[in-house]
Copies of this chain bind each other. A is one copy, B any other.
Amino acid sequence: MDTVKRPRYASYAGAGCPVEASLELFSGKGKGMILYHLLEGTLRFNELKRRVGNMTQRMLTKQLRELESFDLIHREIYPEIPPKVEYSLTETGRTLEPILLALKDWGEQHALPKLLK
């Protein structure tokens, strides 16, 4: 099983940089998208998977676990058959909303055009 990647360096100088620290938490593969979709509300695993596009199940699970460990999302398990698991933003996660929306706006104006060039 893959382990969560911690700061590579015991004390990497960026460790003290709050900008890097923020990015460290939600810039992993697909995390931005996951958080963004969860702004709309609670979603089940497969709903999320559909919205997130072609991300492997393995990766989605991994990213979700990391976000959960950072207390940005909450995972609610319903002990039913078939299984049902719902993901939602935590209070802390919701504080990211303005940033996520800003990233979305900026992306539409600047990032997407450059990437699709």
Contacts and interface: CB of A to CB of B under 8 A. Distances in A.
A6 B28 CA distance: 16
A115 B4 CA distance: 12
Contact of A104 (B14, B18, B52): B18
Interface in A71-104: 71, 92, 95-96, 98-100, 102-104
Count chain B CB atoms within 10 A of each CB in A16, A21, A33, A105 and give the residue with the most: A21
Given A102-B102, A103-B19, A104-B19, A53 B12 contact: yes
Interface of A is mostly: helix
Interface residues of A, number: 49
A24 to B, nearest CB: 7
Nearest to A108: B18
Given A12-B53, A12-B54, A22 B92 contact: no
A17 interface: yes
B95 A13 contact: no
B111 A103 contact: no
Contacts of A17: 32-33, 36, 53, 107
